[in-house]
């Protein structure tokens, strides 16, 4: 096997990791969660979760990946972990593959909307019906049909194959270096536009108005779950990416930078969405993910001058966020296949991604024509999401913390955080306490509360 791949620059590795973290979680989950859970009060809890727990857990995943220098399973094995421990890595690979199955389909929807905005087909609506029902009907056609969403998913899979087959530096890193600046630029423009709307201040107050009475234990647990999902923790992504970090990368600084940027994007999304929907009197509309981006926001764009421009920019943003996340999720399995089975990268890409053509075909049919096909009262789509995000993700995060904090030789975490003594001052002691005690305890609470349905 050739030499282990590495990211070529500091900016490139941060761009790639931010590309993974910034995804649909920031765009459609965060604003709705914040608004439903007490506005600014939720934000305070969320920020605490990101920095007190998210960052230390991210540093642990980085330490594990860079010390183990392999895929999510191989990293544990290279550190001499015995059976149950590398099983944590195996679970991460399973979770990421499950998430990949539906994330590819949703990323396809964003491409469809981007195309429909560019061609203006999205705004070619029945004027006799209300705008809301027209766009809801459009959404049914766009994401519920069987042929169009399927083609869009195939396109997403092909993009993934092309980028991942080229390699870490020339594929993932180069793409992130191009797309992340585009993402931030579009975000800035859209924030500017939204803030210049009539009732911008009122909209912001609606989003950020602190209601501390709404903070309950379940809000804290929601914030924690949102933080972990948004930072791409517990899925082997950060273990895999950090195996490509050079030895000189400062892990804590990288984790803080990535988390800050991820938070910034989430906040900017709120700043875009709330002034816009308030200014057009849509604040009582359903803010739940798909309806927010595929029905409510098109209503807003339709009422604005330059509809096509704003709509295209917004769906470009969404597509970029989604595609860079799918790439990171797919890389977990690609790295696993190529490291474990010693295959070439290209073969690993095909082994990982070709089955998705079959899966998405079945999935698209199950959402459209076969909408009656259900398991345990959920369609396959929700089932994959629920099992992966609510169960496997916390289990893997606890596994990583307990392994590094209690089982692995103590020097591994220390050496990686301090770059073998070369990193100057670093919060190694604090991180160690968090990953030994606080993180496993709190994440276990999230898991238990899920099972008790709190």
DSSP H helix total and E strand total for the chain: 23, 0
Copy the structure tokens of residue 379: 């369609």
User: Which residue, 190 or 393, is less far from ligand PHE as judged by CB?
Assistant: 393
Instruction: Rule CB under 6 A: say whether 31 interacts with ligand PHE.
Output: no
- Near ligand PHE by CB under 6 A, which window of 138-146, 160-168, 170-178, 229-237? 229-237
Instruction: Rule CB under 6 A: say whether 134 interacts with ligand PHE.
Output: no
- Determine which residue in the list 117, 232, 312, 364 makes contact with ligand PHE, applying CB under 6 A: 232
Quote the distance between the C-alpha of residue 353 and its chain's center.
Answer: 19
DSSP assignment of 173-232 equals IHHHHHHHHHHHHHHHHHHHHHHTSTTHHHHHHHHH---GGG--HHHHHHHHHHHHHHTT
- Determine which residue in the list 5, 7, 16, 25 makes contact with ligand PHE, applying CB under 6 A: 25
Least Å distance between CB 103 and ligand PHE? Answer: 7
Least Å distance between CB 21 and ligand PHE? Answer: 5
- Determine which residue in the list 93, 99, 190, 239 makes contact with ligand PHE, applying CB under 6 A: 99
DSSP 8-state symbol, 4: P
Whether 68 contacts 243, CB under 8 Å: yes
Q: How many CB atoms lie within 10 A of CB 381?
A: 15
Instruction: Rule CB under 6 A: say whether 233 interacts with ligand PHE.
Output: no
Binding residue count for ligand PHE, defined by CB under 6 A: 15
- Determine which residue in the list 35, 153, 230, 278 makes contact with ligand PHE, applying CB under 6 A: 230
Instruction: Rule CB under 6 A: say whether 70 interacts with ligand PHE.
Output: no
Scanning residues 327 to 346, which ones bind ligand PHE (CB under 6 A)?
Answer: 328-329
Copy the structure tokens of residue 338: 């190529």
- Determine which residue in the list 49, 67, 111, 235 makes contact with ligand PHE, applying CB under 6 A: 235
Scanning residues 288 to 327, which ones bind ligand PHE (CB under 6 A)?
Answer: 325
Quote the distance between the C-alpha of residue 435 and its chain's center.
Answer: 22
Scanning residues 243 to 282, which ones bind ligand PHE (CB under 6 A)?
Answer: none
Q: In which residue are the tokens 């099983």 written?
A: 87
Instruction: Rule CB under 6 A: say whether 17 interacts with ligand PHE.
Output: no
Q: For residue 137, what are the CA distances in angstroms to 19, 294, 373?
A: 32, 10, 22
Whether 407 contacts 435, CB under 8 Å: no
Q: In which residue are the tokens 């909307």 written?
A: 113
Instruction: Rule CB under 6 A: say whether 23 interacts with ligand PHE.
Output: yes
Which residues contact ligand PHE by CB under 6 A? 20-21, 23-26, 99, 229-230, 232, 235, 237, 325, 328-329
């Amino acid at each position: 096997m050739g030499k282990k791949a590495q990211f070529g620059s500091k900016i490139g590795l941060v761009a790639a990791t931010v590309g993974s973290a910034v995804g649909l979680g920031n765009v459609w989950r965060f604003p709705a969660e914040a608004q439903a859970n007490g506005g600014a009060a939720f934000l305070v809890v969320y920020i605490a979760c990101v920095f007190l727990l998210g960052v230390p857990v991210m540093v642990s995943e980085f330490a594990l990946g860079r010390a183990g220098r392999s895929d999510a399973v191989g990293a544990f094995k290279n550190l001499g972990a015995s059976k149950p421990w590398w099983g944590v890595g195996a679970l991460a690979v399973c979770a990421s593959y499950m998430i990949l199955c539906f994330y590819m389909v949703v990323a396809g929807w964003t491409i469809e909307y981007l195309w429909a905005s560019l061609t203006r087909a999205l705004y070619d609506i029945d004027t006799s019906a209300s705008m809301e029902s027209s766009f809801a009907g459009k959404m049914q056609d766009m994401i519920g049909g069987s042929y169009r969403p399927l083609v869009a998913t195939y396109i997403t899979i092909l993009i993934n194959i092309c980028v991942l087959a080229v390699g870490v530096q020339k594929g993932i890193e180069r793409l992130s270096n191009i797309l992340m600046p585009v993402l931030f630029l579009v975000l800035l423009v859209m924030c500017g536009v939204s803030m210049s709307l009539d009732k911008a201040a009122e909209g912001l107050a609606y989003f950020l108005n602190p209601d501390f009475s709404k903070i309950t234990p379940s809000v804290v647990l929601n914030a924690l779950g949102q933080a972990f999902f948004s930072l791409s923790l517990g899925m082997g992504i950060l273990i895999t990416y950090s195996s490509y970090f050079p030895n000189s990368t400062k892990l804590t600084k990288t984790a803080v930078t990535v988390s800050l940027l991820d938070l910034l994007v989430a906040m900017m999304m709120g700043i875009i969405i709330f002034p816009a929907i308030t200014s057009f009197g849509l604040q009582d509309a359903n803010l739940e993910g798909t309806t927010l981006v595929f029905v409510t926001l098109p209503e807003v764009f339709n009422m604005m001058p330059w509809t096509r421009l704003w709509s295209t920019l917004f769906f470009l943003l969404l597509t970029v966020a989604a595609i860079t996340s799918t790439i990171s999720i797919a890389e977990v399995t690609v790295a696993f296949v190529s490291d474990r089975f010693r295959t070439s990268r290209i073969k690993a890409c095909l082994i990982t991604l070709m089955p998705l053509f079959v899966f998405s075909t079945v999935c698209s049919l199950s959402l459209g024509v076969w909408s009656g096909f259900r398991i345990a009262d959920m369609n396959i789509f929700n089932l994959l999401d629920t099992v992966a995000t609510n169960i496997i993700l916390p289990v893997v995060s606890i596994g990583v913390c307990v392994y590094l904090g209690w089982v692995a030789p103590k020097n591994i975490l220390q050496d990686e955080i301090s770059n073998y003594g070369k990193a100057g001052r670093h919060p190694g002691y604090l991180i160690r306490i968090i990953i030994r005690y606080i993180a496993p305890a709190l994440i276990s609470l999230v898991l238990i509360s899920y099972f008790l349905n709190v």
